[in-house]
Amino acid sequence: MFVRRLVQAGVAIGMLAVSVLGLSSPANAVPTSFVAKAVHAGGAGKLAVQATGGLTWYNRSVTVTSVKFYASPGECGYVAIWAYVGNADVDHKFYPSSGSYCGGSTGKWFTVGNVPLDGSAYSGGITEVYIVVFDETHSGQGWALCARASFACSTAQM
């Protein structure tokens, strides 16, 4: 009986250590996908650029998964991804790292892939992920703001 309780206590302590280190399994009930797009005329016109993907939330970090970027015919743009802990920008990435993705004459999808965002050094970890697409051709932008606390991604554009 004593050995069983000792093993149970050891397992509990081990799980606590994993949680504290930010290595636990993905969190449940958080946003798992997003679409960010910039549409001409403040949303009334045609699609200029768009990014899609998923989100895997960990204890303190987030991986933005299977990110793809679309540029419509004649359009160029890029995507930026920011991770926030409260109001603090703790990690960010830009794709492509320089230049732009351009749709050419037919429109084109570009594979960005998985984007890891590190919040392991911050108590509570990443609370929001902000995905912004920029339409360089017409100076427009759209975004998805995914918040752990609200369990959703909201979208808007300018």
Overall number of domains in the chain = 1
pLDDT in tens, 56-86: 999 999 999 999 999 999 999 999 999 999 9
State residue 25's pLDDT score: 42
Taking Cα atoms as reference points, which of 143, 149, 151, 154 lies closest to residue 127? 149
Exposure b/e, 69-104, CB count within 10 A at least 16 = b: bbbbeebbbbbbbbbbbeeeebbebebeeeebbbbe
Query: Is 19 part of any domain?
Result: no
Domain that holds residue 88: 25-157
State residue 28's pLDDT score: 53
> 9: which 2 tokens?
């206590």
For residue 141, give the CATH number of its domain.
Answer: 2.60.40
State residue 12's pLDDT score: 36
State residue 43's pLDDT score: 67
Query: Is 4 part of any domain?
Result: no
Using an 8 Å Cβ cutoff, are 126 and 84 in contact?
A: yes
Query: Is 10 part of any domain?
Result: no
Query: Is 18 part of any domain?
Result: no
Per-10-residue mean pLDDT, the chain, length 158:
36 35 47 91 84 95 97 97 95 96 98 97 95 94 93 87
State residue 26's pLDDT score: 47
State residue 29's pLDDT score: 57
Query: Is 3 part of any domain?
Result: no
Written as one letter, the residue type at 115 is: V
